[in-house]
Amino acid sequence: MNGETRRLSRALRQHVESLRALGVAAVPATEPGHPATVRWRGGRRECRTPQANGPPSKEEQLASLAEAVAACRRCPLYQTRTHAVISDGSPRAELVFVGEAPGRDEDLQGVPFVGRAGQLLTKMIEAMGLKREQVYICNVLKDRPPGNRTPLPEEMEACLPFLEEQLRIVRPKVICALGSVAVKALLGPYVAITRVRGEVREYQGIPLVPTFHPAYLLRNPAAKKLAWEDLKKVKSLLQQ
């Protein structure tokens, strides 16, 4: 097996494991143009018809993922949510921002990063010369933890397959992990933001830049200077 085959085989194995964790029991092969039927534990569900010629588009894959999130009962947070919050921005983005979990405003609107921290994130994106619609924004958890408490390890574990799927589908050029929870989810439970901030790490072969969460920057404006250094690093990775 050469390097590329090994990488593809690793990615395929991870994809199958993610699907299994999401409750998909079997995915039968379908002919182009036929509706795909995905069998979930406990029932069958029709997916959208794939593109007439070829595999489902990123948009179609993300729409299926959104359905799976809506049906998810893997942790109790679905009981207290108003909306599941999946993503904002472009599925074809070169840059993905990963935050922690929806807060109150996000839960009410069903869109990530729309509250005060979100407004700061939008300004950070614009300071990089980008528009919010050009990037893809998502969180580790898709449902709001009550009172905006820090996500529990078991909630992160339950929700992580969705984030892994989002990153596999979008496959951006660069990932920017916002704060401690995103860093732990993507780099490992013992990795501290204070230790890796300022470095360029990797997630599944994609450069990952850890930086402070915008909510932390609102509480500690002096740290904005360091965050700007990180965003400049992201910009230069995008230009490479």
Chain residues binding ligand URA by CB under 6 A are 99-103, 106, 112-113, 115, 117-118, 139, 215
Minimum distance of ligand URA from residue 115's CB (angstroms): 6
**Closest CB to ligand URA among residues 47, 208:** 208
* Least distance CB 166 / ligand URA (angstroms): 14
Please, which residue, 111 or 130, has the CB nearer to ligand URA?
111
Hey, what are 236's tokens?
């230069």
Residue 159 in contact with residue 85, Cβ under 8 Å?
no
Categorise residue 33: left if φ over 0, alpha if ψ from -120 to 50, beta otherwise.
left
Q: How far is the CB of 83 from ligand URA (least distance, A)?
A: 11
Name the minimum Å distance from CB 182 to ligand URA: 8
CA dist., res. 7 & res. 10, Å (int):
5
| Cα distance between residue 155 and residue 8, in whole Å | 29
Nearer to ligand URA, 18 or 87 (CB): 87
The answer for residues whose C-beta is within 8 angstroms of residue 95's C-beta and 6 or more apart is 130, 134, 135, 136, 172, 173, 174, 175, 176, 234, 238
For ligand URA, the closer CB: 23 or 145 = 145
